[in-house]
Structure 1
Amino acid sequence: MTLHTFQDGSRFQATSADILARQGIHLTTGFDFEEYRSLLAAARPEHILGAPLDPQIHDMTAENAFWIIGRDATGRIMHTQAMRMMDLGPRDLGDYLRRRFRDYPPSGVDLDLKRSRYRAGPGAQRMKGRIAYHGEFWMGGEPGEYRGSGLSCVLGRYAFLVALQMWDPDYVFGFMQKAVAFKGFAERHGYMHTEPGALRWFIKHHETPIEGFLVYMGREDLRYILDMPLNDLVALAA
């Protein structure tokens, strides 16, 4: 018996548009990452554009990468996130990251790359084909203005919908700091799978590492998440 009902995301689009409108938030999708760098510099100068989505490091075009910003009713940027598509072919993500995890560092941190490491979990070793990296997720605003509102459920899923419509990827993955994952952000964001202990970043002259989770979903997971009633999720996450 087939239970898949996801078609084109129209129900999610309608519900999310209503939720965002009530909050006075307008989302814009773009493809020029030098423009995105400038937007970040103005909106959150303490958080520079990360290496995984830097156009000076990667060949990024309107066909393989996009960014999303959210503005409040005054025009102030209160949200950012971005995605980049990669085609790994028969190579699995675990093997790719064992060799390339240093290309995905947290921004603004002086890392000791020799001591840092990546450990491939079983999910990463199963993921092959067209895989989208998801990062740069940030939500600003004044204390208490947006946090606790359930908006992360809407914003994260919006990027998933754009990725499905543009690329229909086999998988989407990202990294999440352990402390953030333990607060349930992966679930609020929409990720159905996590792999703890994936990353261990050491900061120079510090002995305690930054621990990171790998978060990921397959194509059917994305469709399942986007077909769930959004208002219920927002109410639970608030």
Structure 2
Amino acid sequence: MPVAGNAFHVARSLQVHDNAAEKNGIKLLIGFDFHEYVSIARATPTKGPTFPNFRPDRSPIKEGEGYWIIGLDKNNNVAGLEAARLYDLSHTNFAEHLRSLKAFYADPAMHAHPEDRCICTAPSAKKMTGKVAYHGDLWVRRDFRGKGVRKILTRVTHAVSFAMWAPDFLCAIVERWTLDKNVDDMLHHEPGGAILRLVEDDIVEDNWLSWETGEELRSWFDRCSRTDLSLATSLSST
């Protein structure tokens, strides 16, 4: 777990980003029941399908190994969502976890469609072992895009994942446009993260691997403390 000093930095970061969200007209809440999450996501207009790794009917998440963040507007309508879960990859690596489809299904033989496929060629994915925090299902409503809300959500999830798990790696599978528009908030990016086909959910994607180490995540909070979280504060005035 993070040492006390870093826990304090995380708490400060959460407070600053919560204030930034409030100034954008958004109230942030955290949840742990993924049945509730799926229900909210399915009822949210324009949001795409929730990946099976966040669906408890396909990949149950143990208590303490997953959470989600929801942003509500002034009318309590959903303005943003993001989910996170912890993978224990002590005896494997993230590339193999993707290729085997175990990243998406607790039991691929039972739940995966016969034509489901995931190819991962990103070199760093093979080096990602131990406690791997995976972030995904990020969605921001159109009228809140371009206002810094996406970065607020991702930085809140980074803080919560660090505080809960102190992971060895933090990662996501992202579309190329997030890199082109510089809205992805991780330090490293590689093509070939997941050439993916999930038939049941009509998901066909060719995504990049976005990642950073646990030590880099820890250093980010240290830098935030030294600069009084000036970067996060600037988001609140966007």
Same fold (TM over 0.5): yes
Distance 1:185 1:84 in 2: 21
Aligned partner of 1:25: which letter? Answer: I
The 1:125/1:46 distance shift into structure 2, 3 A limit, reads closer
Aligned partner of 1:182: which letter? Answer: D
Contact 1:67 1:80 in 2 (8 A): yes
The match for 1:48 is 49
The 1:11/1:147 distance shift into structure 2, 3 A limit, reads same
Distance 2:117 2:180 in 1: 21
Shift of 1:191: 0.5
Contact 1:31 1:65 in 2 (8 A): yes
What is the DSSP-based 3-state SS (H/G/I as helix, E as strand, rest coil) of the residue aligned with 1:70?
strand
What is the DSSP-based 3-state SS (H/G/I as helix, E as strand, rest coil) of the residue aligned with 2:92?
coil
Shift of 1:46: 4.9
Distance 1:169 1:96 in 2: 17
Write the deviation string for residues 1-27 of structure 1: whole angstroms up to 9, x where unpaired.
Answer: xxxx74431331232122122122111
Contact 1:31 1:61 in 2 (8 A): no
Contact 2:27 2:72 in 1 (8 A): yes
Aligned partner of 2:214: which letter? Answer: R
Q: Which runs of no fewer than 5 residues in structure 1 stay unpaired?
A: 105-111
Q: Is 1:215 aligned with 2:207?
A: no
Aligned partner of 2:21: which letter? Answer: L
Aligned partner of 1:58: which letter? Answer: S
State the TM-score, normalized to the length of structure 2. 0.79
Contact 1:113 1:201 in 2 (8 A): no
Contact 1:87 1:129 in 2 (8 A): yes
The match for 2:80 is 79
The match for 1:135 is 136
Write the deviation string for residues 172-230 of structure 1: whole angstroms up to 9, x where unpaired.
Answer: 211111233222222xxx211111133324699xxxx7421011111122223344354
Alignment of 1:1-238 (within 5 A): 6-8=6-8, 9-44=10-45, 46-100=47-101, 103=104, 117-142=118-143, 146-186=144-184, 190-201=185-196, 210-226=205-221, 227-228=223-224, 230-232=229-231, 235=234
Write the deviation string for residues 16-68 of structure 1: whole angstroms up to 9, x where unpaired.
Answer: 12212212211111111111111112223652322111101112133111111
- Structure 1 stretch displaced more, 173-182 or 150-159: 173-182
Distance 1:101 1:213 in 2: 18
Write the deviation string for residues 122-145 of structure 1: whole angstroms up to 9, x where unpaired.
Answer: 211211101121111001152xxx
Distance 1:52 1:115 in 2: 14
Contact 1:6 1:224 in 2 (8 A): no
Distance 1:201 1:113 in 2: 13
Q: How much is the aligned-residue C-alpha RMSD, in angstroms?
A: 2.9
Contact 2:122 2:190 in 1 (8 A): yes
State the TM-score, normalized to the length of structure 1. 0.79
Higher relative contact order (CA 8 A, sep 6+): 2
Distance 2:233 2:207 in 1: 25
What is the DSSP-based 3-state SS (H/G/I as helix, E as strand, rest coil) of the residue aligned with 2:69?
strand
Report the identity percentage.
25
Distance 2:15 2:68 in 1: 21
Q: Which runs of no fewer than 5 residues in structure 2 stay unpaired?
A: 106-112
